[in-house]
Amino acid sequence: MFAQTDLTLPPIATYRQLPWMKLPLNETQAAEALLRPETDLERRMLAAPEFRKGLLWGEPRFGHPEGKVLFHIREVLDNVDRIPGLTKDQRRQLRLVTLAHDTFKYAEDRSHPRDWSKHHGLLARRFLEKYTDDPVVLDITEMHDDAYYAWLAQKHEEFGTGNPHKSLPTLLARTGHCLQLYYLFFKCDTQTGDKTQAPLKWFERSVPGISPVAVREGIW
């Protein structure tokens, strides 16, 4: 367990304007103070060396002007807390997905052609399997980017031809048991940084059986 440290969090609206890289991110106390784990399970995850390494990975880039993964996680966690009507269990599940979903980007294979067995979502699932057997948490974590890939496949035929397992039918077959929660996480993840909202709007129009909700005020 990390020692607590004082780290005052700014309003979510100011995240993109702050010099995040100047924070003392080599200190694990700062990561816990920023992410504020709520359970022993979350604290054990944050204590794992390979997890801490992933939290500190990343430079500012398109879609992620905040840079390091833990700042993106904080923004997604804040979005989760904005979802109306979540049960305690749903919130717990979404928090676990949020904490893990991008934390293994540093270990992802980015060679071409791409080795999808080493995608960061699958690496995150394998990490989580040491802590939970909840299929909702594991499946959403593994496939959290697949709604984006499904949008990309219908937009660019070449991508869809090369990656048939990233199609919308494949995604729905895998997430049918937790489709609404998958959608909620996809929305919380997409409405961060400077990500394009087109995949989310397409998903809301194209997928039957989901109930669209507003998460960020003024953004659908």
User: What is the per-residue pLDDT for 112?
Assistant: 82
Query: What's the one-letter identity of residue 201?
Result: K
For the cut 70, the answer to whether the pLDDT of residue 45 exceeds it is yes
Q: Which residues contact 203 (CB under 8 A, 6 or more apart)?
A: 147, 150, 151, 183, 186, 210
Identify the residue with better confidence: 21 or 133: 133
Tens of pLDDT along 72-130? 999 999 999 999 999 999 999 999 999 999 999 999 988 888 888 999 999 999 999 99
Tens of pLDDT, residues 54-73:
999 999 988 999 999 999 99
The DSSP line for 82-133 is: T-TT--HHHHHHHHHHHHHTTTTGGG----SS--GGG-HHHHHHHHHTTT--
pLDDT tens for residues 157-184? 777 677 777 899 999 999 999 999 999 9
Position of tokens 């048991």?
177
Cβ within 8 Å of residue 83, ≥6 positions away: 91, 94, 184, 188, 213, 215
Q: 76: helix, coil or strand? A: helix
Q: Which pLDDT band, with edges at 50, 70 and 90, does 218 fall under?
A: low
Cβ contacts of residue 134 below 8 Å, gap of 6+?
Answer: 93, 96
Task: State the pTM of this model.
Answer: 0.87
More confident residue, 25 or 82: 82
Confidence tier at 198 by pLDDT (50, 70, 90): very high
Tokens representing residue 43 in the block: 């604290």
